[in-house]
Amino acid sequence: MAELITYRDAVGRALAQEMERDETVYLIGEDVAAAGGVFKTTPGLRERFGPRRVRDTPISEEAIIGAAMGAAMNGLRPVAEIMFSDFLATCWDMIANQIAKTRYMTDGQVELPLVIRTANGAGVRFGAQHSQSLENWAMAVPGLKVVAPSTPQDLIELLAASIRDPDPVVFFEHKALYPTSGPVDDGELVGELGKAAVVRTGGDVTIVALAAMVPKAVAAAEILALQGVEATVVDLRCLVPLDTQTLLKACSQTGRVFTVEENPRLCGWGAEISSIIMEEAFFDLDQPVVRITTDHIPLPSADALEDATIPSAERIVDIVSRTLD
């Protein structure tokens, strides 16, 4: 039986499930313990599991990631929270040059089973330094797995799978999705990394989206349906590993593909998706892949400007409609 819970509450449920199951799992980050998280994703965990397993830290991303790396190398399964994904820049050397490469450079003798959770994306008016979508940063680093769920159920299943994974995972939670709700099944939930979801089917176009762009893509598909255009919507869920089979099958069935990306256009994940489709399914296409993206600019904090910058359902509809004319 399913219950309706928020994306925000799904974080706490997933962490509690895995901490209950495995005593080596612990949570570390700024304000994750006493305050229950700056986005209120971890309330009650300190009281339930104690201060040894739910730890507040100083305001130092380098300290958080360094402590998590050392703990993972010594048999624990840390979940490290970086409050805003923008702040990954301050500890990126440790993530990209140490965590991502240690298993490879030790010939598999040292595993790093750790998860780096972070709040990603725009839509809440936090300005240029607190609103970026940076999943393409992590996607570009060999050795990191990259996850970005769009629903509460997916969040629980994929966070559980990430915690149990033997490799480092960067887990992007979208800030604008925290208050949204969705049905979640009872009992222990565990998903599989690297599996996309077809959340809507249609025979005319395929729209590929991630995280907060998924509900916008679905909303656009419903509007397009009123215009006689039926869209398949693919929620990638993971960028690394990437479910190319589901992606290519959906693209081949319609012959027209649109990617909807919140990250800036230059070197966004949709460029890689487009490359894969062109190489693997070129003769199934009826037109070039079209990318719908955020402009390559620092994000504005003014509501009207931020809304104009990020892809919207209306913008998706307009671009798809004009392309099909």
Token output for 163: 């915690």
Sign of the Cα torsion 287, 288, 289, 293 reads: negative
Residues 6+ apart with CB under 8 A from 68: 28, 78, 79, 80, 114, 116
Please confirm, yes or no, whether 130 is among the known catalytic residues.
yes
Residue 247 and residue 277 in contact, taking contact as beta carbons nearer than 8 Å: yes
Residues in the chain: 325
Please confirm, yes or no, whether 174 is among the known catalytic residues.
no
Specify which residues 25 forms β-bridges with. Answer: 77
Residue tagged active-site, from 130, 173, 261, 306 = 130
Residue tagged active-site, from 61, 81, 261, 262 = 61
Sign of the Cα torsion 196, 200, 203, 204 reads: negative
Calpha distance 175→169 (Å, rounded): 18
Helix axes 269-280, 244-254, angle to 10 degrees: 70
Residue with tokens 């931020």: 306
Q: Which residues are catalytic?
A: 61, 130
